[in-house]
Amino acid sequence: MDSNIESLTNLFEKYTADSVFKDRVTLTPEYVPDEMPGREDEQNRMVEALSILLDPFRPVAVNIAIIGPAGVGKTTLAKRITKDLHSYAQTMNINLDTHYVNCHSFRTKTSILRRLVTDGFSNIQGRGFSDEEMMEMLAKKLMRENKRIVLTIDEAGMLKGEDILGLIHMNELFPPGEGRFSTIIITRRQQWSLMLNTHLSGRVQDQINMPRYTREQLKTILEYRARLGFFAGVLNDEVLEMIIDIAATTGNARHGIEIMLRCGMIANAKKSSVITPEFVRAAKNEVYPELRPDVFNDLKINELLVALAIATILSKGGGAVHTTINEAYQVYKMYCETYNVKGQSKATFRIYLDNLTQLGIVVSQVKPMPDGSRGRRSIITLHDIPAIIVKERVEEAIKRKLKERMN
């Protein structure tokens, strides 16, 4: 065996043997737990709404909206329920598929349809077809195979309401009284209000509002995840209470779970068999509830360069309070040259900026001119997230993107 490979193997074995994690996966954003403490009412309501899909003789469609702030279990609830729905449908010999798309990656109706077509037809890539053609292909396949689809559209605020409505209209391709294409729409309240400017609200049968977690609910959730994720004795009650207190300030369970994950990683790096209060304080400074851990991975290269330009300006010297579109655009063009990426027009730059604002990465506001003259201008800033942290994470994501391009 090559000595380098052997040393790496030994390192992995030692890390695994000495790790404080019993099951690290249970603390990651992708994990879907068997239990969802504090969301029993919402689970029951979703099951009630989706149970109509289990009629073996009459295929129908249902559209549900799950609305609430970050970290309150919207995505986990949808994944948990659709997983169980699919399993139960199989026991009843009902041909039902579930699909999940996150609009950070699939930002148009066309890209979502292309994904569904690619998954459903092994010999078709979906390119070269119009939306109408792809919808007709899917509808014919569903009727031919007597199949039903439940599509979960996460971060739906990235789409236009008309796009979601267009997907729902696929049911018009089936015979009268029949539906085979159901949707679960996940979004935040403000974005949902904007989407309702379309006729979408009339097509949504149930709207499930997810409030922020109470401290008692967070205590139950984080105790449960700690039991799953760590060996006994790693996280004592006093230290866990610290994490619960931090998460309670936002009502965001994901925030607390991410802090636990980071604490475990710090403990492993320091070869400690327990998580200390100091590890919690360090983890708190590295985990920000406003940002999903993978949010930068889903951005396009030009969007990353826009974020990098803004973070660079705001992290210089003592740190600027805000920047302007003109200033950020000039730094963006500089980074395009640095990374050998084709720069875009200022109009396209504004579109990228709007996307970053929707994702909560930056804050864009219109304010009066600082000199008191007539008129207004747009300023860009960051709330709560240190610019240097954004800069570091964006630079890491850019390196990954460029490396993927080369491979």
Tell whether the model's pLDDT for residue 18 goes beyond 80: no
Using CA atoms, how far residue 198 sits from 107, 169, 202, 216, in Å, is: 18, 13, 9, 38
Instruction: Please name which of 262, 177, 264, 210 lies closest in space to residue 64, comparing C-alpha atoms.
Output: 210
Q: What is the pLDDT of residue 340?
A: 92
Q: What is the pLDDT of residues 195-235, one digit of tens each?
A: 766 677 778 989 999 999 999 999 999 999 999 999 999 99
Q: What is the pLDDT of residues 336-375, one digit of tens each?
A: 999 999 999 999 999 999 888 877 788 887 766 555 555 5
Tell whether the model's pLDDT for residue 312 goes beyond 70: yes
Quick one: what percent of the chain has pLDDT higher than 90? Answer: 61
> What domains are there in the chain, each with its CATH number?
3-29+213-284 (1.10.8.60), 40-209 (3.40.50.300), 295-406 (1.10.10.10)
d(CA 64, CA 42): 12
